[in-house]
Amino acid sequence: MFRKFIALEWKAFIRSSALTGNVVLTVFKVLGALYFIAIFLAFGFGGYYLLLDITSDPLAVVSKYMLYYLVFDLVFRLFLQKLPVINIRPFLPLPIKRSTIVNFAIGKTLLSFFNWSHLFFLLPFTIVLIKESYDPLNAMLWFTGILAFIYCNNFLNILLNNKDSLLAVFTALLLGFGALQYYSVFDVTTYTSVFYHGLYATYYMVVIPVIALLALWVLTYKYFYGNLHLDTGLSQKEEEARTENYSWLNRYGTLGTFLKNDIRLIRRNKRSKTTVIMSVVFLFYGLLFFTGAMEMYDNSMLQMFAAIFVTGGFLFTFGQFVPSWDSAYYPLMMSQNIQYREYISAKWWLVVIGTLASTLLASFYLYYGWDIYVMIIAGAVFNIGVNSHLVLLGGAYIKTPIDLASSKQAFGDKKAFNVKTMLISLPKMLVPMLLYVIGENLIGQWWGSILVILAGVAGFAFRNKVFSMIEKIYKAEKYATLHSYKQKN
């Protein structure tokens, strides 16, 4: 039976949209994956020696921060790792034993990317430990213990699935402990590191994570076994809907109508919520550049690059998929009496509002100096004046249907990657970077930001022209777009 399951999985894999289709892009994807694997491996092998600079015992440091690593992993999983419950449905009425189905489902989660990707770090790190004359047996016990914890996360994610409130709780815990530790109020790791390091230091500590893992495994098995019905364990979560009228938007006419829908779109769909999360992540991206944390980032050209991203997170992640956000009901949009102009400007306003909000939130960069925040404001003006148009223009060429219900593909998709969008994307960062360098070096200190701001303001002048261009593209590509939105997955 298992062999048949595996055959099915294999077919699902080789026929998935990620592998079929454009060969060149598949190669790119594979290269991208290899790149990340290489980075993890480099951290695994090199992390030890990097840490030697600050400590004599790298394992102690890694154990100290292991708590954060694991909680972050759980948060990441709660957010992204989906359970394969849907795929089980067709098996239910077939003459297959319940226990086989459950074992298969659980086995499938064990093989998930969310588990084995950690090995790229853990395995080389342990190997280096042994090579650097840590006790081999103890190092292997440590490795086993941590791996058991990672698999515990796997089961916890299944058992806690679909409880969005938990996501918030864990994120709050993570940030809370992090802040307390950063301001030296309370250092939770002094307590937990004893335990994580104990995995190495003692022979018996490893029993705890292994027992926890087995217990969670049994619990998960029982949970699945008992809930293998369409209306219990396999049901899709339904949230209680609330009608929201946003009547204050009525005064903006059709623009308001679209804005209302876009706000609901963002608030009520997993996929679009990720864009909001990404924009928060981008907000902090600048910390790498502006705090002097990394020496190689400490030059004004790269800082301008970061300034664009700090305020542009939402603009880029949301804007690049206009109109694909509406792909699920594009035939409705195309047969209703819709003015493209209003439709586009609603999306434009949305990314502008997102950019403005990010700019306000980014005001904490003031802490690092006025010049930094002025740079960020310059980036925001450029984003609103120029990049908002470019990003919508690029989106018009992207015909990827978006599955709003899943947060997959949030990090790019093969069809979202084509030469046209690449060409449109380049000036988004390169132009402000060059302007900044020219202004700063040829005219004077503040002139870098001023030139970028001027370019941003100049961008407004082209708004109508760009909107007409986008409108033309939408019209010219209408049938092709409708056709590709029909090809789900």
Partner 1 sequence: MIQVHNLKKAYNGVTVLNIASLEIPKGESFGLVGNNGAGKTTFFSLLLDLIQPSAGYITSNNIKINESEGWKPFTSAFLDETFLIGYLTPEEYFYFIGDLRGLNKADVDAFLTQYEDFFNGEILQKKKYLRDLSKGNQKKVGIIAALIGKPEVIILDEPFANLDPTTQFRLKKVLKELADDPEVTILVSSHDLAHTIEVSNRIVALQKGEVVKDIQTSAETLRELEAFFAA
Q: Is 244 in the site for partner 1 (CB under 8 A)?
A: yes
Closest approach of Cβ 268 to partner 1, in Å?
A: 4
Instruction: Specify burial of residue 84 (Cβ count, 10 A radius: 0-12, 13-18, 19+).
Output: middle
Please enumerate in sequence order all residues whose Cβ is within 8 A of that of 354, keeping only pairs 6 or more positions apart, or say none: 279, 314, 315, 318
Closest approach of Cβ 407 to partner 1, in Å?
A: 14
In Å, how far from its chain's centre is CA 32?
16
Choose among 346, 340, 431, 345: nearest CA to 387: 431
Q: Which is nearer to partner 1, 108 or 264 (CB)?
A: 264
Choose among 297, 455, 310, 472: nearest CA to 376: 310
Instruction: With contacts defined by CB under 8 A, name the span among 24-32, 112-120, 240-248, 430-438 that binds partner 1.
Output: 240-248
Q: Is 231 in the site for partner 1 (CB under 8 A)?
A: no
Q: How many CB atoms lie within 10 A of CB 237?
A: 8
Closest approach of Cβ 242 to partner 1, in Å?
A: 7
Instruction: With contacts defined by CB under 8 A, name the span among 23-31, 189-197, 242-250, 372-380 that binds partner 1.
Output: 242-250
Q: Is 476 in the site for partner 1 (CB under 8 A)?
A: no
Site string for partner 1, 259-298 (x = CB under 8 A): -xx--xx--xx-----------------------------
Q: Which is nearer to partner 1, 65 or 340 (CB)?
A: 340
Using CB under 8 A, pick the residue from 183, 336, 360, 370 that binds partner 1.
336
Q: Is 173 in the site for partner 1 (CB under 8 A)?
A: no
Instruction: With contacts defined by CB under 8 A, name the span among 149-157, 237-245, 351-359, 439-447 that binds partner 1.
Output: 237-245
Site string for partner 1, 379-418 (x = CB under 8 A): -------------------------xx-------------
Instruction: With contacts defined by CB under 8 A, name the span among 75-83, 330-338, 417-425, 453-461 that binds partner 1.
Output: 330-338
Q: Is 251 in the site for partner 1 (CB under 8 A)?
A: no
Using CB under 8 A, pick the residue from 53, 56, 335, 419 that binds partner 1.
335
Residue numbers at the binding site for partner 1 (CB under 8 A): 238-245, 247, 254, 257, 260-261, 264-265, 268-269, 328-332, 334-338, 404-405, 478-479, 482-483, 486
